[in-house]
């Protein structure tokens, strides 16, 4: 694939916190329609990269290009308007809102007509299988339902690209399989490109078309899952342990 | 707006409109009711910033004072009718709110820091008006005693002010219902619940906080103009930090932003009545007892019902309704 086709281009992005280099000239391309996985040991800079791409931190240097437009340093709400949304590693639920209202907040991103907003909310709730929880306060949900609601409200914004930060953490194997199934449908049926950060190998190996590996703020490997899993640099980064699929 | 939204407002208005007649227009009770309505309108307006947007704003007295001075100065110096002076006071208050709010939100001042910044604005304005001899100064400035003329909106009794405030309360309730059901309302709730999550859903957090603040400041400035007409004079002590605190306490205890908006006037009614009862009976013996009462009520509610009393009322209302229905069914 040529560079011009990439939906999102991260170019030589560097981010420092005091003396620590969290991201060191990182290049990542995300292609339209794919599911890109990103792994790396704790502190590798995965969440930092998400925060830079979605406008929570400005990078110290480097560029972020989305659909040909330079979005470096733009605030998150503008980035959402352009078509990128995300979930958070530390879930940030709207505890005092109902599931339906949380999704509605996202739906207003592109729609202003109340009837259209209503329709969008219903579609998303049905797609996510959350319709029977619609009137439940987020405060009263379990962790799986909270994570589903976080994905639902992000999808309601109608993104082209969705960044998922450890969506599978804390789920049991059966729930992980359900999540993979759901995200595949998001990817295929809704046409949303996915970029997922994950520690759960079962998840990231099972869902990704390609995988990027970060280590100490540097990209050390990139490619199809099976190739990356046996890459000597990756194996070494995970303390010599063979990456378990 | 839906018909189901209007029903409780109509019922509440009818009930409140009849109250002065129920106390046979007794001047003391009408005055008491007028202050209850005054605080009810303030707390209901505060709901926009404190309840929906979740910002602990303590600048109510800044907006009240600015509204009072704007209306009063235009009336005494230029003979401008309060009908014009009151909304202009609202605009001045909103202008001041923008001046404080813009940098505050720009630099992300939140929670306790936002509360401190806003309450200090009250103190600063009070001192400013004390030394600003042309407009303020330490002497009371009395409003013209042109009683009974609609142009001056000055009346000998309190009943006319009671009904003016009732009209304002209805407008502020409608405003709340309207905002709550709009995109702005949902956005403010999202900001209250989690600012960072709200941003990536496309919400310009600063813009919406400022919008909530401006609406609240405008309404509160207008109420300040009415306040000056009731009290009959202007003085820097109208920038009163206690008023700011009282509004926020009533809002928190009433559960602003949680459940029904009617919880706020209801809470004001109950707490203000009890505090006034304490003041009039025990106040001579223990001065300031009504202030202690506010502290105790706040502590108890925050400890036992941190979400405020709105749910308690709803449950109570449901129980009373069920009991009445049962009795009717049993009797029939």
**pLDDT tens-digit profile of A84-111?**
999 999 999 999 999 999 999 999 999 9
Q: Using an 8 Å CB-CB cutoff, list chain A residues near B189.
A: 94, 96-97, 101, 105
Structure tokens at A213: 């590996």
Q: Is the pLDDT of residue B133 over 70?
A: yes
> How does residue B332 score in pLDDT terms, banded at 50, 70 and 90?
very low
pLDDT digits (tens, 9 = 90+) for A37-66: 999 988 899 999 999 999 999 999 999 999
The residue with tokens 């909530």 is B212
> How does residue A239 score in pLDDT terms, banded at 50, 70 and 90?
low
Which pLDDT value is given to residue B318?
Answer: 84
The residue with tokens 């690209």 is A161
The CA-atom distances, in angstroms, between A91 and each of A137, A147, B39, B40 are: 15, 7, 38, 37
3-state secondary structure of B201: coil
User: What is the arithmetic mean of pLDDT over B23-41?
Assistant: 94
Query: A203-239 as b/e, with b when 16 or more CB fall inside 10 Å?
Result: bbbbbbebbbbbbbbbbbbbeebeebbebeebbebbe
Query: B65-104 as b/e, with b when 16 or more CB fall inside 10 Å?
Result: bbbbbbbbbbbeeeebebeebbbbbbbbbbebbeebbeeb
Q: What share of chain A is helix, strand, coil (3-state, %, to 5)?
A: 40, 25, 35
User: What is the arithmetic mean of pLDDT over B53-74?
Assistant: 97
The CA-atom distances, in angstroms, between B91 and each of A60, B64, B126, B171, B216 are: 42, 12, 19, 17, 11
Which pLDDT value is given to residue B245?
Answer: 94
Q: Using an 8 Å CB-CB cutoff, list chain A residues near B196.
A: 56, 76, 88, 92
CB nearest to B193's CB, from A81, A86, A94: A94
What's the rounded Cα separation, in Å, for the pair B11 and B266? Answer: 13
Provide the whole-model pTM: 0.92
> How does residue A10 score in pLDDT terms, banded at 50, 70 and 90?
very high
β-sheet with A84-86: strand ranges across: A84-86, A161-165, A193-197, A35-39, A210-215, A218-223
User: What is the arithmetic mean of pLDDT over A141-146?
Assistant: 94
The overall average pLDDT reported for chain B is 92
What's the rounded Cα separation, in Å, for the pair B141 and B132? Answer: 13
Q: Using an 8 Å CB-CB cutoff, list chain A residues near B50.
A: none
- How many A-B residue pairs are in contact by the CB < 8 A criterion? 74
Q: Are the beta carbons of A77 and B193 separated by less than 8 Å?
A: no
CA A105 to chain centre: 19
Q: Are the beta carbons of A105 and B198 separated by less than 8 Å?
A: yes
| A200–chain B nearest CA distance, Å | 24
Which pLDDT value is given to residue B167?
Answer: 97
CB nearest to A112's CB, from B183, B200, B204: B183
Name which residue leads in pLDDT, B330 or B129.
Answer: B129
Rounded to two decimals, the ipTM of the complex is 0.93
Q: Using an 8 Å CB-CB cutoff, list chain B residues near A112.
A: 183
Measured CB to CB, residues of chain A less than 8 Å from chain B are 54-56, 75-77, 79-81, 85-86, 88, 92-97, 101-102, 104-106, 108-110, 112, 150, 153-154, 156-157
Name the residue among B230, B236, B254 with its Cα closest to residue B313.
B254
């Amino acid at each position: 694939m040529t560079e011009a086709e990439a939906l999102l281009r991260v170019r030589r992005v560097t981010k420092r916190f005091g003396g620590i280099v969290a991201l060191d000239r990182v290049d990542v391309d995300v292609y339209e329609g794919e599911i890109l996985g990103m792994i790396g040991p704790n502190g590798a800079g995965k969440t930092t990269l998400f925060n830079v791409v979605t406008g929570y931190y400005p990078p110290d240097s480097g560029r972020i290009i989305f659909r040909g437009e330079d979005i470096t340093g733009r605030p998150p709400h503008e980035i959402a308007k352009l078509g990128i949304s995300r979930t958070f590693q530390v879930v940030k639920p709207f505890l005092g809102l109902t599931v339906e209202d949380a999704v509605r907040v996202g739906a207003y991103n592109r729609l202003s007509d109340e009837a259209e907003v209503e329709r969008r909310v219903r579609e998303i709730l049905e797609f996510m299988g959350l319709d029977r929880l619609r009137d439940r306060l987020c405060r009263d949900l379990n962790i799986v339902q909270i994570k589903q609601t976080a994905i639902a409200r992000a999808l309601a914004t109608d993104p082209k690209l969705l960044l998922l930060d450890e969506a599978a953490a804390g789920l049991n194997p059966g729930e992980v399989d359900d999540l993979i199934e759901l995200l595949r449908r998001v990817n295929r049926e809704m046409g949303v490109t996915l970029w997922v950060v994950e520690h759960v190998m079962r998840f990231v190996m099972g869902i990704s078309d390609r995988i990027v590996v970060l280590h100490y703020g540097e990209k050390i490997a990139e490619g199809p899952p099976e190739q990356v899993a046996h890459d000597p640099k990756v194996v070494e980064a995970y303390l010599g342990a063979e990456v378990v699929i | 707006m839906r018909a189901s939204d209007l029903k409780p407002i109509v019922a509440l208005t009818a009930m409140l409109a009849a109250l002065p007649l129920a106390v046979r227009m007794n001047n003391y009770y009408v005055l008491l009711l007028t202050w209850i309505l005054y605080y009810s309108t303030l707390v209901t307006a505060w709901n926009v910033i404190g309840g929906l947007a979740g910002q602990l704003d303590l600048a109510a007295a800044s907006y009240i004072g600015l509204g009072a001075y704007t209306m009063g100065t235009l009336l005494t110096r230029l003979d401008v009718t309060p009908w014009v002076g009151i909304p202009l006071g609202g605009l001045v208050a909103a202008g001041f709110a923008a001046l404080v709010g813009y940098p505050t939100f720009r630099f992300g001042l939140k929670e306790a820091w936002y509360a401190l910044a806003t309450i200090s604005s009250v103190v600063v304005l009070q001192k400013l008006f004390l030394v600003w001899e042309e407009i303020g100064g330490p002497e009371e400035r009395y409003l013209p005693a042109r009683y009974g003329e609609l142009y001056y909106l000055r009346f000998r009794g309190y009943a006319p002010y009671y009904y003016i405030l009732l009209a304002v309360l209805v407008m502020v309730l409608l405003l709340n219902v309207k905002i709550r059901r709009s995109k702005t309302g949902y956005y403010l709730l999202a900001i209250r619940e989690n600012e960072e999550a709200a941003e990536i859903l496309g919400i310009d957090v600063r813009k919406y906080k400022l919008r909530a603040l401006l609406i609240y400041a405008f309404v509160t400035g207008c109420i300040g103009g009415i306040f000056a007409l009731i009290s009959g004079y202007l003085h820097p002590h109208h920038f009163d930090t206690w008023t700011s605190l009282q509004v926020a306490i009533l809002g928190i205890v009433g559960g602003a932003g949680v459940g029904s908006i009617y919880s706020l006037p209801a809470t004001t009614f109950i707490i203000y009545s009890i505090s006034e009862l304490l003041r009039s009976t025990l106040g001579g013996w223990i001065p300031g007892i009504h202030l202690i009462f506010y502290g105790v009520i706040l502590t108890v509610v925050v400890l036992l019902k941190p979400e405020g009393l709105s749910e308690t009322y709803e449950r109570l209302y449901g129980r009373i309704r069920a009991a009445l229905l049962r009795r009717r069914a049993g009797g029939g």
